[in-house]
Structure 1
Amino acid sequence: MSMHREVRVLVGGFTDGARADIPLGLAVHRVGADGEAVAEGRLVIDNPTWISPGSAPDLFYVSQSARRSLSLVGVDADGRISLVDQIDIDALNPAHVAVDPQGSHVIASCFSEGVIVKVRLRDDGGFAGVEWTRDMNRALASATRRNSLQSDAEPHQAVPIGAGEYFVPDRAQDVVWHLGPDGAAAPAAEVRPGAGPRHLALHPAAPVAYLVGELDSTLITFRREGRALVPVDVRTTLPADWFGDSAAAAIVVDAVRERVYVTNRGHDSVAVFDIRAPERPTSIGWIPLRGRTPRFAGLLADAGLLAVAAQGDDHVDLFRAEAAARLQGSDVRLVHAAPACVVQVQL
């Protein structure tokens, strides 16, 4: 497909066991107005699987799965990537890194060890040091761990909600935590046993939040009431006639087009929900993918694109957002080893 203008994206992916004959680790991909894509700068660091933009448009924070590090990278005007700073957070497998909107700190959700780490930032965006580490293991007495994949604690993401506070989905304990600035945690919501909360997205206008249940492939809708999340709706992310193995992963809210997107790994699709009634999402269908294991989906709002990363088949597909909202549209394909995250870089 042709593009309205050139778009540049930063893609990160797993390096452990990945192909080495294609872009690996971090790479900047430029897509021209004619839809042709080319990889520009590359930086091979271990498992850069989540990328969050920093306070400056050329800086990005990167979490490194199955390692104990966070990195800060820079992207210059020619698409070259450089390692600006790195910190050992002394906690294994930061699956996600969230940036404080005021730029004072980042929060790493460390899935394997069940801890959350707050890292202070310097004025230039570099790492100043670990402020605190919060151990979430056995924090919720009512957790049942109905699914064999669940352990003691598996925080998978932190979502800023203001003033140093976060919502943190915990896949193992079937809870979304409210996390305070000092690391104090309290349940914001408990979900049904075995759901496996993975990622949460806020509606930008309505007091509503949407949560992916990874292990039971559900979209759970909450009404936000202060620091609490009140469940009001739950929907499957799979077709009624699907009987195979699948696990939900990413969630994206497109408020402009009144859609929520959820990826299904196994069914290998993107479930699309209408949210014109924000508390009652309605399934309108599935975007079939030409790739396995769609771990990530993200809205590149400035470019009007939906990016979907097929980790199992080493590529990222870019869909026009207005076409994806109607379950339609061709795509531009970017080749990248085991992709896990995509963010837009300002040209």
Structure 2
Amino acid sequence: MADVGRRRKRAFIGSFTAAGGPGIVAAAVDPADGRLTFLSSLNGVPDPSYLALSPTGEALYAVSETAEGAVAAYGLAGDVPEPLGAPVPVDGSGPTHLSVFDGHVLTANYGSGSITAVPVRADGTLAPAASGVLWHSGSGPHAPRQQGPHAHHVGPDPSGRWVVSVDLGTDSVRVCDLRDGSPVLHRECALRPGSGPRHLAFHPGGSHAYVVNELTPSVTVCRWDAPDGALKPLAEVPVLPGAPDGDAYPSGIVVSPDGRFVWTATRGEDVLSVYAVEGGGEALRLTATVPCGGRWPRALAVSGGFLYVANERSGDVTWFALDPSTGLPRRAGSLDVAAASCVVLG
């Protein structure tokens, strides 16, 4: 594969093909002003709603958020992602999130309430998942969204020791080992019933995590004990300064690389929330909300002093320049991508 160090910075955008999205879009990133410029698109699998880069940046992985559920691999030697073999079933339905960890692609399967570990070969291609599936169990008080488990996020902790999965249906975060290619439950950490946790982001200090809740518009601040693999909820803070005007469904959450700020996105209200991180990660203080630049912000990414928002229903990725002293986003531009659902940069 090509020398990553000589490659220009790029963004990769996932979309819902069932809603008219183009599949996976590649865009050039201008490091000076954050601008995205369209390079190519590839309609390789249905509904590649979430993407993840390999640690080297030489490969891209995409879920296929369908009832059958699959994950696909792409090489990134050029400006058009190149398929690396056929998509691999995840043995679960509706995968909504994925990450790369310890020689595997991990998927969170919302429909089946499970997580899957798919082996990655040395050349970046995917091997069959075999028995690498952990099935969640349980439910919550919110009908009909919590009648059963709905895994919505999966990824490694900062220590690289644990796999952490967030389940909207069971109001919990599961901590797992990866043993012989299979996720094995270590501990389940309960959050407030009915909160509907969706995604999790770790503080770069490694001792705190923030869980954005979809069913109640809030963020749960947690202490993370890496040696013990334990998550302890400390406080729940709102994503809005007052009661929502209508629907309010938080979606994405990111932490600034220096650990000073946290940003969330809320669909319906269509705003970004800005938090100041206090107490070394122990507390979040809501400082502002600003329009997301479109409608139905589904996912966020932060890179090089810019915040990127995938706005699903307005069909764009909007970027914001970040004030280094306040973390306040200022809209700087947008790129049209129908049914945009995710953006990653590398």
Query: Alignment partner of 1:40: what SS?
Result: strand
- Cα offset for 1:211? 0.4
Contact 1:247 1:266 in 2 (8 A): yes
Q: 2:174 aligns with which of 150, 165, 177?
A: 177
Structure 1 partner of 2:142: 146
Structure 2 partner of 1:58: 58
Query: Alignment partner of 1:16: what SS?
Result: helix
Mapped pair 1:285 → 2:282: no
Map 1:84-95 onto structure 2 (within 5 A). Answer: 84-85=84-85, 86-95=87-96
Describe the shift of the 1:144–1:9 C-alpha distance in structure 2 as closer, same or farther (beyond 3 A).
Answer: closer
Query: Alignment partner of 2:313: what SS?
Result: helix
Q: Which moved more, 1:180-189 or 1:46-55?
A: 180-189
Supply the distance in 1 between the matched residues of 2:33 and 2:206 (Cα, whole angstroms). 37
Supply the distance in 2 between the matched residues of 1:47 and 1:336 (Cα, whole angstroms). 13
**In the TM superposition, what whole-angstrom CA distance separates every residue of 1:112-141 from its partner, at most 9, and x where no partner exists?**
011211111111121122142122133xxx
Contact 1:257 1:322 in 2 (8 A): no
Query: Alignment partner of 2:323: what SS?
Result: helix
Supply the distance in 1 between the matched residues of 2:171 and 2:60 (Cα, whole angstroms). 30
Contact 2:107 2:154 in 1 (8 A): yes
Contact 1:238 1:267 in 2 (8 A): no
Structure 2 partner of 1:230: 232
Supply the distance in 2 between the matched residues of 1:328 and 1:304 (Cα, whole angstroms). 10
Describe the shift of the 1:272–1:36 C-alpha distance in structure 2 as closer, same or farther (beyond 3 A).
Answer: closer
Aligned residue identity for 1:121:
V
Describe the shift of the 1:310–1:153 C-alpha distance in structure 2 as closer, same or farther (beyond 3 A).
Answer: same
Q: Which moved more, 1:249-258 or 1:35-44?
A: 35-44
- Cα offset for 1:232? 0.9
Q: 2:24 aligns with which of 5, 8, 26?
A: 26
Structure 1 partner of 2:344: 343
- Cα offset for 1:90? 2.7
Contact 2:91 2:116 in 1 (8 A): no
Mapped pair 1:159 → 2:158: no
Structure 1 partner of 2:216: 216
Aligned residue identity for 1:146:
H
Mapped pair 1:71 → 2:69: no
Structure 1 partner of 2:253: 251
Contact 2:34 2:319 in 1 (8 A): no
Aligned residue identity for 2:146:
Q
Structure 1 partner of 2:13: 11
Mapped pair 1:299 → 2:297: no
**In the TM superposition, what whole-angstrom CA distance separates every residue of 1:165-206 from its partner, at most 9, and x where no partner exists?**
211111000010111213222544211111001101111115
Contact 2:204 2:259 in 1 (8 A): no
Describe the shift of the 1:64–1:16 C-alpha distance in structure 2 as closer, same or farther (beyond 3 A).
Answer: same
- Cα offset for 1:34? 7.1
Q: Which runs of 5+ in 1 are unaligned?
A: 1-5
Contact 1:163 1:181 in 2 (8 A): no
Aligned residue identity for 1:213:
N
Structure 1 partner of 2:135: 135
Structure 1 partner of 2:118: 119
Question: What percentage of aligned pairs have identical amino acids?
Answer: 25
Q: Which runs of 5+ in 2 are unaligned?
A: 1-7
Contact 2:187 2:229 in 1 (8 A): no
Contact 2:272 2:291 in 1 (8 A): yes
Contact 1:92 1:110 in 2 (8 A): yes
Contact 2:307 2:329 in 1 (8 A): no
Query: Alignment partner of 1:158: what SS?
Result: strand
Query: Alignment partner of 2:127: what SS?
Result: strand
**In the TM superposition, what whole-angstrom CA distance separates every residue of 1:143-185 from its partner, at most 9, and x where no partner exists?**
4333421231111111202556211111000010111213222
Contact 1:252 1:297 in 2 (8 A): yes
Contact 1:55 1:125 in 2 (8 A): no
- Cα offset for 1:264? 0.4
Supply the distance in 2 between the matched residues of 1:167 and 1:99 (Cα, whole angstroms). 12
Aligned residue identity for 1:170:
D
**TM-score calculated relative to the size of structure 2:** 0.88
Structure 2 partner of 1:105: 104
Supply the distance in 2 between the matched residues of 1:299 and 1:35 (Cα, whole angstroms). 10
Contact 2:95 2:107 in 1 (8 A): yes
